Structure 1
Amino acid sequence: MNHIWETGAYTAHLCMQDDVWDAPKRDRGRWSGDLDISGRVISDVFGDSLLLEDTLRNLITGPDRTTTGIPDYTGLWITTLYDLYLHSGDRAF
């Protein structure tokens, strides 16, 4: 079990670049579907809320804007925002 946990934490850490990327060796994209899962891991393992905030912000306003216009991705963006709030308690963000 420890090896599985360490592998998951290591994988999440690889995705933590300027913000949270999916597949840093492949497409290096931001995806709210992947962030919904990896965001919870990052919050639990590393306690990093700033990187998650930047990624959430970039998903809506950044050059990719992969969240806007896709209802499923928008829903996952909202659940990630809610999970971030549960972990950080930051109402201002």
Structure 2
Amino acid sequence: MTVSASNSPGNSPGPDLGRPSPWVLPEDGIVDPIAVEIAATGARRVALTRTERLLAAARILAAGHPCTEISRRLHVSGHTARTLAAQLRDLGPVPDVWAPANPGAA
């Protein structure tokens, strides 16, 4: 069987209600930093857990890009991109994880 672009996952002609997206993986407690990087740069579409998607959105926003860039790079709707940005705002500033390891660095 040949899979063409028209019938590959994520290219269905209408809403795929009732079935999970093939691009959203179940949470497994492990973050794949390479998948996050690929998604955040927009190099190609990659399946992510919800946590990885949030981390990729954080990288996009940290680089100074708007929500529209989250939408484009992560292949999500504008509403989902704004929701991810709001979730990140609710988390507050991320502390510098290297500060305790390098107390003399400034």
* TM superposition score category, shorter chain reference: 0.3 to 0.5
- Look at both structures and tell me which one has the larger radius of gyration over its CA atoms: 2
More helix by share: 1
- Taking structure 2 as the reference length, the TM-score comes to 0.32
Higher relative contact order (CA 8 A, sep 6+): 1
